[in-house]
Amino acid sequence: MYLYKTCNFLIISAVLACSLQNLYSQSSTPKTSSKGLKDYYKNYFPIGVAVSPRALQGPEAGLILQQFNSITPENAMKMGPIHPEENRYFWDDADAIVNFAQTNKLRIRGHNLCWHEQTPKWIFTDAQGNNVTKEVLLKRLKDHITTVVSRYKGKIYAWDVVNEAIDDDSTKFLRNSLWYQICGEDFIVKAFEYAHQADPNALLFYNDYNTERPEKTERVYQLLKKLKEAKVPVHGVGLQAHWSIYEPTEKELRNAIEKFSSLGLQIHFTEVDMSVYRWEKHRRERKEGESDAFTPELEQKQLEQYKKVFSIFREYKKAITSVTFWNISDKSTWLDNYPVRGRKNYPLLFDQNLQPKKVYWEVIKF
């Protein structure tokens, strides 16, 4: 009798444990349909996401594989992180992302080879701390691009070669960065040439933000037109798409797509997110009483904006050959700390628990 009761107790305990384990598994696994964004958009364009190495395991990794078929290293391949000292490269994070992509048959967009930010100080200066000559800087740029692109040749199909070279001031053309101060416009031309020499099969992109604002659309267009006419190996334009529930308008977005595609360039939307706040450029602290609640009103505005832009994306599927979200979910987004430190933002299709938001179902409903 004692043995019988003991057996029953053990059986009941095992059943309870199994039930609890199933409950835990269900709560920690994103609840979506078996199909992902990549499946709904398979006849349109690849759907990508920017990732860090820590996202390559656990529930986030599962969500990446379910929803996306392309990835971009968020920071791991920028010049500062990957080449912190002249004679030292740090490959671990970039290699981890490339290996994850190859193992799971994902496309990889390389980001980025030349930028005015996240660039190590050493590249611009000599041993005395003075700015180097144009010849020295271009040699360092060539060494960097050749080394990085060659390492991933045949694995990375597209690179953001030059990032954000157009000035924020609409009365100016190129940003007055150290690249420009030392090299003039030649650093842009040479960056594309060096990348093409290192991997002739890779697609090479110029990447920038606010590209739908008419005055910036025109200046980016003029730069690309100039590069094309000079036979520089540029194959596409990356429109970052760090947008908000307030912009861009339908007219602005259509104009940008049509203008850039008229140059015969591929269009990639490279860093898509939809802030629930108005655009700000300069960093600041959060103001007293400044709300960061994701209200039903903001949720509805975001839904309508995402629905509009993806409808336009689908319409221009012949010109658009990739769409990439910047971060996986609202759990962690760069906009939580930029431009307002500590102000929570909700710019993506998945919430802080990795669950699809209402907007997700609108983006796939077509």
Q: Are 302 and 346 a contacting pair, CB within 8 Å?
A: yes
Q: 88: burial class by Cβ within 10 Å (0-12, 13-18, 19+)? A: exposed
d(CA 247, CA 212): 9
What backbone phi and psi angles, to 5 degrees, belong to 65? Answer: -70, -30
Q: How far apart are CA 316 and CA 251, in angstroms?
A: 14
Backbone angles phi, psi at 289, to 5 degrees: 80, 5
204 Ramachandran zone, left/alpha/beta (phi>0; psi -120 to 50): beta
Distance CA 311, CA 291 (A): 31
Q: Which of 347, 363, 268 has the alpha carbon at shortest distance from 45?
A: 268
- What residues are annotated to the active site? 164, 271
CB-CB neighbours of 209 under 10 Å: 22
Alpha carbons 23 and 248: distance in angstroms, whole number: 42
- Cα distances (angstroms) measured from residue 295 to each of 58, 274, 276, 331: 29, 15, 10, 17
